[in-house]
């Protein structure tokens, strides 16, 4: 049985976006579920637009997601190089095969001539197709013109009759009329191959068994099949995954919240959450499962369960899912993710790591993104001089708030040990003694200690803040109310 070998082949002309990450994930899951190999290839023949920064960003994004490749940049295998820019000699060999067998030919038509043909087609309201002007040039004449310094592209001879059938593992058989194609270019005048030719040679020489890619590449597949046939080599199996659309079913863009993997990381998303969400975009896990870690996805993944219908991107669901993963992540792991920024803010010091972890324990189940931690945790690390306006009107400036806070201050001073159980018992006892509901004490205390009306459990907050800080802030609130 042939070894399963799949590839993710991004172009390093931009960032690793949500669609590319999902394609990489589906390839990874299929490879791992079939005990196969996952290959990373950088398609960087667009030398003017490709950049090393972009390439590094893609590698870092995949590594952060946990999608480790078996062969590719940094992990050489038997079928490299894994950057197209380093494979020119391989492409030239296969181009020469087609020229020698008369399956391809040099075309000397100038850009001006091609533009003129396009304009004529437009005036006749026809789709442009190359006229075939250079089809019958002899190899001797072509060689002579090249020797004289004329520029030429290389075109593939394409049949004009019949149909080409793409056997797609997700979509079934998809037929294309050959009459819609022309003798398309497979190598540019500078000698570099076009996308369709390079990808065929790469997939063949890297022994790719299955090509799992985005639906937008389906229209390229007939051209690639003609190249496979001209080279007399067997194509891989194809599977084209559905598009990802915005909630209004328009093309997905940044305005819908779709962004690069690096930006998701900066915003405070966890890789486990992003992977889990990407898996839901076009793949049914069955059993109404929402949450699966990567290893569980590998066990369940089947191409049969990948939908041919467009997937709808939903930022709210992604945030909700990220909140779930933050809630089940160990506080120590969360600290490692935010440690650098915590030190930069001056919040994390050599002697307060345990305190910081205690704060995380109170907050991590209440936030959806790590970037929200700082706003939620601020009162644990810095004093404040203002209070929530509505809370101030409701809990400080009406009734007997000074009396309440004074009584509470006196009770707290006597508590030892200062833990949440003892604090709660004391405050509830004080409320009973003052003939008040416990909430009538809890709300002004919360506002005095945090400046806010919505926080984690008050008694747990007080234990973490400690007795001295609680007494200090209550005293500050009393003085504030008296002014």
- For the annotated catalytic residues, the residue numbers are 254
The rounded distance, in Å, linking the Cα atoms of 208 and 449 is 62
Which tokens is 185 given?
Answer: 């270019």
User: Cα-Cα-Cα-Cα dihedral of 231, 237, 242, 244, to 10°?
Assistant: -70
Name the phi and psi angles at 105, rounded to 5.
-150, 160
User: Cα-Cα-Cα-Cα dihedral of 455, 461, 465, 471, to 10°?
Assistant: 90
The rounded distance, in Å, linking the Cα atoms of 300 and 353 is 40
- The residue written with tokens 């059938």 in the block is 165
How many CB atoms are closer than 10 A to CB 122? Answer: 11
297-327 CB burial, b ≥16 within 10 A, e <16: bbebbebeebeeeebebbeeebbebbbbbbe
Name the phi and psi angles at 101, rounded to 5.
-90, 5
The rounded distance, in Å, linking the Cα atoms of 148 and 134 is 17
The rounded distance, in Å, linking the Cα atoms of 414 and 121 is 92
Which tokens is 107 given?
Answer: 């075309």
**Residue 447: closest CA among 481, 420, 418, 424:** 481
Whether residue 155 contacts residue 186, with contact meaning beta carbons closer than 8 Å, is answered with yes
Name the phi and psi angles at 314, rounded to 5.
-135, 105
């Amino acid at each position: 049985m042939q070894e399963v070998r799949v590839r993710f082949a991004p172009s390093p002309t931009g960032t690793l976006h949500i669609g590319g990450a999902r394609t990489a994930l589906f390839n990874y899951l299929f490879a791992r579920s079939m005990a196969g190999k996952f290959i990373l290839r950088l398609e960087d023949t667009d030398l003017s637009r490709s950049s090393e920064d972009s390439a590094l960003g893609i590698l870092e994004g995949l590594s952060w997601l946990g999608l480790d490749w078996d062969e590719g940049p940094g992990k050489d295998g038997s079928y490299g190089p894994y950057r197209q820019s380093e494979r020119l000699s391989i492409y030239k060999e296969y181009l020469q095969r087609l020229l020698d067998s008369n399956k391809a030919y040099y075309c000397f038509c100038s850009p001006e001539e091609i533009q003129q043909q396009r304009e004529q087609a437009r005036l006749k309201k026809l789709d442009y197709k190359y006229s075939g002007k250079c089809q019958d040039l002899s190899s001797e004449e072509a060689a002579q013109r090249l020797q004289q310094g004329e520029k030429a592209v290389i075109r593939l001879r394409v049949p004009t009759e019949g149909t080409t059938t793409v056997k797609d593992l997700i979509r079934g058989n998809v037929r294309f009329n050959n009459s819609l194609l022309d003798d398309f270019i497979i190598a540019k005048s500078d000698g570099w191959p076009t996308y369709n030719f390079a990808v065929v040679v790469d997939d063949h020489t890297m022994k790719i068994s299955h090509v799992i890619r985005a639906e937008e590449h389906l229209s390229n597949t007939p051209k690639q099949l003609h190249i496979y046939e001209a080279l007399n080599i067997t194509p891989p199996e194809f599977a084209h995954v559905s598009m990802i659309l915005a909630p209004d079913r328009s093309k997905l863009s940044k305005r819908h919240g779709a962004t690069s993997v690096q930006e998701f990381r900066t915003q405070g998303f966890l890789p486990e959450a992003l992977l889990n969400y990407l898996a839901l975009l076009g793949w049914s896990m069955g059993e109404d499962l929402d949450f699966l870690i990567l290893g569980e996805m590998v066990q369940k993944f089947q191409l049969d369960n990948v939908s041919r219908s467009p997937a709808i991107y939903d930022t709210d669901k992604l945030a909700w899912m990220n909140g779930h993963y933050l809630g089940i992540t160990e506080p120590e792991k969360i600290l490692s993710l935010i440690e650098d920024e915590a030190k930069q803010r001056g919040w994390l010091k050599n002697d307060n790591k345990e305190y910081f972890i205690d704060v995380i324990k109170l907050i991590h189940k209440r936030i959806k993104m790590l970037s929200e931690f700082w706003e939620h945790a601020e009162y644990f690390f810095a004093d404040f001089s203002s209070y929530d306006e509505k809370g101030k009107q409701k809990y400080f400036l009406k009734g007997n708030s000074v009396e309440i806070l004074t009584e509470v201050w006196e009770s707290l001073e006597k508590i030892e040990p200062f833990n949440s159980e003892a604090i709660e018992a004391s405050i509830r006892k004080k409320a009973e003694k003052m003939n008040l509901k416990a909430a009538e004490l809890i709300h002004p205390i919360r506002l005095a200690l945090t400046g806010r009306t919505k926080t984690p459990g008050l008694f747990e907050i007080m234990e973490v803040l400690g007795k001295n800080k609680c007494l200090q802030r209550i005293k500050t609130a009393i003085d504030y109310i008296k002014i």
